[in-house]
Amino acid sequence: MSIENETFRPKIVAFCCNWCSYAGADLAGSSRLVYPADVKIIRVPCSCRVNPMFILRAFEKGADGVIMCGCHPGDCHYSTGNYYARRRMTLLFSMLDFIGVENGRTRVEWVSAAEGVKFSTTMNEFVEKITSLGPNVRLEDLRCRN
Amino acid sequence: MQELVNRAKELLADGTVSRVLGWKAGDMSYNPEPAYFNSAEELENFVYDGFCGANLSKYMIEASKLEGKTLVFLKPCDTYSFNQLIKEHRVDREKAYIIGVGCKGKLSVENIKAQGIKGIESIEGAGMNDGCDTLTIKTLYGDKTCSYNDAMLERCHVCKGKEHQISDEVMLESRDTKDAERFAQVEAIEAMTPEEKFAFFQKELSKCIRCNACRNVCPACSCRKCVFDSTKYDTAQKANVTSFEEKMFHIIRAFHVAGRCTDCGECSRVCPQGIPLHLFNRKFIKDIDTFYGEFQAGEDTESRGPLTNFTFDDVEPSIVGERG
Amino acid sequence: MQRVGVFVCHCGSNIAATVDVKKVVEMVSLEPGVVHAEDYQYMCSEAGQARIDAAIKEKGLTGIVVCSCSPRMHEATFRKAAERAGLNPYMVEIANIREHCSWIHKDMEEATKKAVVLARAAIAKVNLNAPLQPGESLVTKRALVIGGGIAGIQTAIDIADAGYEVDIVEKTPSIGGRMSQLDKTFPTLDCSACILTPKMVEAAAHEKITIYTYSEVDKVTGFVGDFTVDIRKKARSIDMNKCTGCGVCQEKCPSKKTPSEFNRGLNTRSAIYTPFAQAIPNVPVIDRDACIKFKTGKCGICEKVCQAGAIDYEQKDEIVTQKYGAIVVATGFDVIKVDQYEEYAYSQSKDVITSLELERIMNAAGPTKGHLERLSDGKHPKEMVFIQCVGSRCSDDKGKSYCSKICCMYTAKHAMLIRDKYPDVNVTVFYIDVRTPGKNFDEFYRRAVEDYGVNYIKGQVGKVAPQPDGSLLVQGVDLIDNKQILKKADMVVLAAAIEPEKDVRRIATMLTASIDTNNFLTESHAKLRPVESPTAGVFLSGVCQGPKDIPETVAQAGAAAVKAIGLLAKDKLLTNPCTAKADELMCNGCSTCANVCPYGAITYETKEINDHGIRETRRVASVNNALCQGCGACTVACPSGAMDLQGFSNRQILAEVDAICR
Amino acid sequence: MSGHLHEDMKSRVIDISGASPHKCMKCGKCSASCPSFDEMDIKPHQFVSYVNNGDIEALMASKSLGKCLSCFACVERCPRDVKPGKIVDAARQMLIRQQGQAMLTPEDVPELLDPEVPQQLLMSAFRRYSR
């Protein structure tokens, strides 16, 4: 593989809740539904375990996109976790938009344990989106001294 | 101002309170600072004028641990912070005797300097009995004048109102100072292109020297130990240009106080670099109001904050992209 | 820093065909903390586990990373293996390089790279793992069964026979469920009531079983071993202790126009009613929407005729709160609405009926007293057409994607019974496939064809058109003969798809049990844990889990009972040690965490804290490990980061993030 | 004809029709619903096999193309969302394109308008007789 001609391959972190989305990703696997290897999944017990700091940290360390998947609202294994996660992520994403980080580098998708197809299509879409946005420089570079 | 001192002496004398929390004169006439007064004699140094912007509610966290009651002077906007601290069990209402003190808009010497006035020796016209229209500034280069309103802090132009949310008694008159829309600045930034937004914040945040003044003054940032000093997030380093906290500090700080910030504006007031830090907080407040209904932290001491609450049909995070 | 051992599984060719396992071993050996790395054909096999055991002992490993299939599959296996070798089981992390890597990527180089990254993340995490000890919680020795059909009844009897108290909650006025509506059962053709009624009586008479009919589950809190459930006993308007079940009230009730739910609306019932003669309990309820007394304040006839003085118009809903160790869901099914298939003219003609309606027509206690007759004119039919797969196996938005499983067999049953009792009736069945797996099932179907002369046609019906003469013109196709068929029929029977009871979504939400897109409850493992819900302490019985016939339902009911008994037999349960924990030195005591905790697991205590030499009385959070389920909502709500989640700590997750982004 | 061309025509039919022949479970409800069944040489339920086998030429040569009324009962009633009627429609379009003739142009339509004529008929006629 030559370095010069290497096309941009994004680094993508996916936080998946253990009960629905991680199982959905497993189902995508057992159904052999292909999505790019750029996506790496981190298992968390619930979407409400995802601290906005984790997402910012990923960006800071060079991630180009971060996606969080959880149970559908109403189906949370812990009944209410994803409702809190939904508010947190809405506000965080809005703040990132406010400081000029491109829309679309972050995403939340509700994926049930039965939705292997949805998991796979979501990841394909997300990788495509991030690839089109190119490498993430803004979050890495927010405070560089001029 | 003298009536405040007199009342404080009375309350000390009859044993209602053990000490007084107020402001004392600083080295210049425009920089009074928060201070405890334990006796009538000490109260001779007490001041209260247009430069007493400091929000004393956060000091009540420590004062709540002391023996006896503390008399604290709270301006209308400070009372929101105090209520929020009651909600979070950080201050003890029983340990406080609150005099809700009137406010005619607080001043910033930076705003005066920004008008090209240099070599300031003293400033007159900032007292509670003055007319609040013109400040007379004695400088090395002669007397200058400046309109009171032009010298006011940004937060006073979008004042939340003259009512004290909590108090044992109220003294001195307040004045309407609101002459701007609270969210106008936020909206102006929202209207920018992503490139412009990014350039704006990159410029502002690049000034940050991580002095932590914003954190230290913020009544919502009252954690015993801040996550930025904690080993649990690997974020404890200071002033390292490539570190995590360096880039994300202000976003995370704003997120941590989201739903709890009363918009008291102290962060922007104390920033030595003049970064408009209140913009982060106010953006969250605006979003919370639009997405989840109007909410003013500190209006009461019971209700659930917007981030510890939800409805089944809250907006999805994708609204951020859809809004365009 | 741990002494980490990494074990890379080939999973036969499942992993090894796409991931270069040798390369993974080589790469992970370079990671900090890794002192041992190897690969093996099947890590989960006994030999594979023995290798882990040996490496732990020989190399003094303190942390294990297994690169294999999903942790949902074998995390428990490898934890046990580590424990046997003397390591704390929570020092094991899994890198999922099968479902999340080898199975979805085609390019070996790419897949290998990704596998290495996933392994690195697991290594970074395990380096920060700490030994965890499970806590203990007590088990309430009582089970709740939701639903009083054959599934619920069988489960309850089996649990009660093992010596445990069982409560059945049934929303209708009587237990019995769908099976009580059936006339005969396949493949032996015995009468449904004859085999069900004794079971109902047995349940009712069992000293360990309490039956709440006309009742619903209102609220569920708690967790495995210690659920607290509110049961709403809806106002029956009858004092159950006084009623003798004489039935006079039902006879005299002047309001008799309400469609009978039990007879699928084919006839009517009175406002005060028991759904059917063998109802248990044999105590009526007053349908307050239909009762004249409740609607106008006048009437009160039932009260006057009741010799026992059992009528109580003032009765109110009553909430019974009870603790349970295990909950079995047996909520059953209903048939879908067929009026959406306009081509079958169900809503246009009374003589187009569903199979369940035919059951009632064939039943001696049904609306026609068991005589096969057209509902439009009471005439005896000569030609009957059965249409299979109505709403089953559909990929449109009207029907269900699954096979309803029971229709082929009950249609053969109906056809056979009709031909047996009325040899003058011609019976035609339009089918797509005849599916008869099951003991003596295909023989049963063949008997219908060979011995009873039922005319099976492979092909679907496109349209049923009611004719002016009252007959039905059926337009179908014979795919074998490649001919279109026009057939005049007197009755058409639709094998409507079955679907889970409407209530099941509400119940699943209360139980935090997963449910699939068809509203069937999800089992913990499709093959190996078919009667357990992924929510601990919740078990599945009957059609709520997927389409089943009676023998399968009864078998599954017994299996669910055994699982529940296995739980109830324990005095204590080990609790998940991955719970939240507050750092008292950092805690502000602000109550934010308690506001988001769904289990009420966080309380506050005011205690003396020694903060690096400073002694202070502080309000600090404390987590009840038995209540905490480890969701982590509190950890993010906590402004100071004092609250952390064991097993998924901030540092562990950040280490994974860092490893992935490296 | 080369296999490649077979595949090409097959994918063209699928593209034009938006049909999903692989979803068919051979229930025959399309043929059971078809008002022109008896006049067709290739029956509606057989359309999918022709597509699946790539035998589009035979389909294009079939009488059924002219016999199909485009009533779309088969499309409406198909439980698997296969759309057999659309396959015929697609084959017809391909035939017209091959012959390179349009028997109906948009300009002709206004003259043919008649309040009695259902719009659906016009649309299907247009689909059938124009390129």
> From residue C512, how far is each of A119, B313, C194, C219, D33 by CA, in Å?
22, 19, 37, 12, 45
Domain that holds residue B237: 182-324
Q: Report the DSSP pairing between strands C209-212 and C165-169.
A: parallel
Residues B167 and B187 in one domain: no
Residue-wise pLDDT for C388-400, tens only, equals 999 999 988 889 9
The token duo for B210 is: 């991580």
- Do D15 and D51 lie in a common domain? yes
Type of residue at B298: G
Whether A75 maps to a domain, the answer reads yes
pLDDT at position A22: 94
Q: How far apart are CA C588 and CA B289, in angstroms?
A: 27
Which of B57-66, B201-210, C407-416 has the least mean pLDDT? B201-210
Q: Is residue D125 domain-shared with residue D87, that is, in the same domain?
A: no
Mean predicted confidence (pLDDT) in C208-222: 94
Residue C640 has its nearest CB partner, among B65, B227, B307, at B227
Say which CATH number the domain at D66 has: 1.10.1060.10
pLDDT of residue B196: 93
pLDDT at A1 over 50: no
pLDDT value of position B237: 44
Contact list in C for residue B90 (CB cut-off 8 A) is 588-590
Please check the confidence at residue A146 and state whether its pLDDT lies above 50.
Answer: no
pLDDT in tens, B186-231: 999 999 999 999 889 988 888 888 888 999 999 999 888 888 877 6
Characterize the bridge pairing of strands A106-110 and A65-70.
Answer: parallel
User: Which tokens belong to C231?
Assistant: 């049961």
Confidence of residue D1 (pLDDT cuts 50, 70, 90): very low
- Interchain CB distance below 8 Å, A103 and B189: no
The pLDDT, as a whole number, for residue A3 is 45
Residues C503-562: pLDDT tens digits? 898 898 888 777 787 999 988 777 888 999 877 899 999 999 999 999 999 999 999 999
Residues of B in contact with C591 (CB under 8 A): 88-89
Residues B173 and B205 in one domain: no
Residue at token pair 């928060």: B34
CA distances from D82 to B276, C10, D47, D66, D72 (A): 61, 41, 10, 21, 12
Q: How many Cβ atoms sit within 10 Å of the Cβ of residue B246?
A: 21
Tokens representing residue B280 in the block: 């982060």
Flag if B255 and A90 touch (Cβ within 8 Å).
Answer: no
* Alpha-carbon gap, residue B321 to C15, rounded angstroms: 38
Q: Is residue B74 situated within a structural domain? A: yes
Q: Is the pLDDT of residue C611 over 90?
A: no
Residue predicted with more confidence, C135 or B143: B143
Cβ–Cβ < 8 Å for D17, D83: yes
Q: Are residues B172 and B186 in the same domain?
A: no
- Nearest Cβ partner of A79 from C106, C121, C598? C598
Domains observed in chain C: 4-126 (3.40.50), 142-234+317-332+501-568 (3.50.50.60), 248-305 (no CATH), 335-499 (3.50.50.60), 580-645 (3.30.70.20)
| Residue B118, in any domain of the structure | no
Confidence of residue A142 (pLDDT cuts 50, 70, 90): low
Q: Is C439 helix (H, G, I), strand (E, B) or coil?
A: coil
Please give the mean pLDDT across all residues of chain B: 90
Do D51 and D62 share a domain, yes or no? yes
What pLDDT is attached to residue C140? 96
d(CA C518, CA C513): 14
**Residue A6 domain flag:** no
CA-CA distance, B24 to B34, in Å (whole number)?
Answer: 6
DSSP secondary structure letters along A68-112: EEEPPTT--TTSSHHHHHHHHHHHHHHHHHHTTPPTTSEEEEE--
| pLDDT digit string, tens, across residues B103-123 | 999 999 999 999 889 889 889
Q: For residues C330 and C544, is the Cβ–Cβ distance under 8 A? A: yes
Judged against a pLDDT cut of 70, whether residue B235 lies above it is answered with no
Question: Is the pLDDT assigned to residue A144 strictly greater than 50?
Answer: no
> Do the chains contact at B310 and A84, CB–CB below 8 Å?
yes
Same domain, B237 and B166: no
- Asked if the model's pLDDT at residue B258 lies above 50, the reply is yes
Looking at the structure of chain B, the number of domains it has is: 2
| Residue B136: count of CB within 10 angstroms of its CB | 14
Q: Within this chain, do residues B22 and B94 fall inside the same structural domain, yes or no? A: yes
Same domain, B204 and B320: yes
Could you tell me the CATH number of the domain that includes residue A129?
A: 3.40.50.960
In the prediction, which pLDDT does A78 show? 84
| Residue B208 and residue B167 share a domain | no
Whether chain C has a CB inside 8 Å of the CB on B222: the answer is yes
> CA C221, CA C598: separation in Å to the nearest integer?
9
Predicted-assembly ipTM surpassing the 0.85 threshold: no
**pLDDT for B240:** 45
Closest CA to C68 of C129, C7, C5, C20: C7
In chain B, residues with a C-beta closer than 8 Å to the C-beta of A97 are: 194, 320-321
Which chain B residues touch A145 with a CB distance below 8 Å?
206, 241
pLDDT score recorded for residue C625:
85
Residue B324 pLDDT grade (very low, low, confident, very high; cuts 50, 70, 90):
low
Q: In this model, does residue B46 exceed pLDDT 70?
A: yes
Question: Is there a domain that residue A88 lies in?
Answer: yes
Say whether the D–B interface has 3 or more Cβ pairs within 8 Å.
no
DSSP type of residue A4: T
**C564 pLDDT more than 60:** yes
- The answer to whether residues B282 and B182 touch, using CB atoms and an 8 Å cutoff, is yes
- Is residue D64 pLDDT above 60, yes or no? yes
- Residue C458 and residue C544: Cα distance in Å, rounded? 31
Q: What is the pLDDT of residue A5?
A: 47
Chain D 31-50, residues with CB within 8 Å of chain C CB atoms: 31-34, 37-38, 43, 45
Tell me which of C163 and C640 has the higher pLDDT: C163
Contact B226/C640, CB-based, under 8 Å?
A: yes
Test mutation, C99, C118, C402, chain A, max A CBs within 10 A: C99
Write out the residue range of the structural domain in which residue D118 sits.
103-131
Instruction: Please give the tally of structural domains in chain D.
Output: 2
Q: pLDDT over 70 for what percent of chain C? A: 100
Q: Which residues of A touch B319 (CB under 8 A)?
A: 90
Residues B31, B174, single domain; the answer is: yes
Residues D87 and D72 in one domain: yes
Q: Which domain holds residue A71?
A: 12-133
Q: Count CB atoms within 10 A of the CB of residue C371.
A: 14
pLDDT-derived band at C276, boundaries 50, 70, 90: very high
DSSP-derived secondary structure letter, C101: I
Considering the domain architecture, whether residues D22 and D64 belong to the same structural domain is answered as yes
User: Is the Cβ pair A103, B283 closer than 8 Å?
Assistant: no
Mean pLDDT for C208-234 is 94
Q: How many domains does chain A have?
A: 1
Question: Which residues, 6+ apart, have CB-to-CB distance to B265 below 8 Å?
Answer: B77, B153, B154, B155, B278
Q: How many CB pairs under 8 A join C and D?
A: 67
Does residue C364 contact residue C276 with C-beta atoms inside 8 Å? no
* H runs (alpha helix) in C388-491: 407-421, 441-450
Q: Is residue B301 domain-shared with residue B227, that is, in the same domain?
A: yes
SS (H, E, C) B63-117: HCCCCCCEEEEECHHHHHHHHHHHHCCCCCHHHEEEEEECCCCCECHHHHHCCCC
Give the pair of three-digit tokens for residue B138. Answer: 């004695």
For residues B22 and B164, membership in a common domain is answered with yes
Question: Does residue B140 lie in a domain region?
Answer: no
Query: What is the distance between the alpha carbons of residues C591 and C581, in angstroms, rounded to a whole number?
Result: 14
Q: Is the peptide bond before C281 cis (omega within 30 degrees of 0)?
A: yes
Query: In the structure encoding, which two tokens stand for residue B314, read together?
Result: 């809250």
Which partners does chain D have (≥3 C-beta pairs < 8 Å)? C
Is the predicted pLDDT of residue A72 greater than 60, yes or no?
yes
Q: What is the mean pLDDT of residues D51-61?
A: 91
Question: Across the interface, which of C596, C639, C650 has its CB nearest the CB of B232?
Answer: C650
Q: What is the pLDDT of residue A61?
A: 86
How close D28 comes to chain C (CA, Å)?
5
Annotate C541-601 with DSSP letters as a single string.
-GGGSS---HHHHHHHHHHHHHHHHHHHT-SEEEEPS--EEE-TTT----SHHHHH-TT--
Closest CA to B248 of A12, A66, A141, C649: A141
Task: Give the pLDDT of residue C216.
Answer: 97
Question: How far away is chain B from the Cα of C495, in angstroms, using its nearest Cα?
Answer: 38
Q: Tell me the shortest Cα–Cα distance from C593 to chain A, in angstroms.
A: 12
Residue D27 — very low, low, confident or very high, per pLDDT cuts 50/70/90?
very high
Q: What is the mean pLDDT of residues C455-477?
A: 96
Q: Which chains touch A (3 or more CB pairs under 8 A)?
A: B, C
Size of chain D in residues: 131
Rounded to the nearest integer, the mean pLDDT of chain C is: 94
Higher pLDDT among residues A61 and B9, named by residue:
B9
Alpha-carbon dihedral B34, B39, B41, B45, rounded to 10 degrees: 10
- Whether residue A6 is predicted with pLDDT greater than 80 in this model: the reply is no
D80 part of contact set with chain C, CB < 8 Å = yes
Q: Tens of pLDDT along C579-597?
A: 999 999 999 999 999 999 8
B257 interfacial to chain C (CB closer than 8 Å): yes
Q: What pLDDT was estimated at residue B242?
A: 46
CA dihedral B178, B180, B181, B184 (to 10 degrees): -150
Q: What pLDDT score was predicted for residue D129?
A: 63
Q: What is the pLDDT of residues A102-138, one digit of tens each?
A: 889 999 999 988 888 999 999 999 999 999 999 988 7
Identify the H or E element spanning C489: strand C483-489
Please say if the pLDDT value at position A143 is more than 60.
no
Pick B230's closest partner by Cβ from C586, C611, C619.
C586
3-class secondary structure per residue, C337-350 = CCCCCHHHCCCCCC
Given the DSSP bridges, would you call strands B46-47 and B70-74 parallel, antiparallel or unpaired?
unpaired
pLDDT digits 0-9 by tens, C200-209: 999 999 999 9
Q: Does B170 share its domain with B208?
A: no
Residues 6+ apart with CB under 8 A from C48: C7, C9, C40, C41, C42
Rounded Cα distance between B233 and B244, Å, is: 10
How would you classify residue C484: left for phi > 0, otherwise alpha for psi between -120 and 50, otherwise beta? beta
**Residue B292 to residue A87, Cβ atoms within 8 A:** yes
Out of C591, C639, C654, whose CB is closest to B234? C654
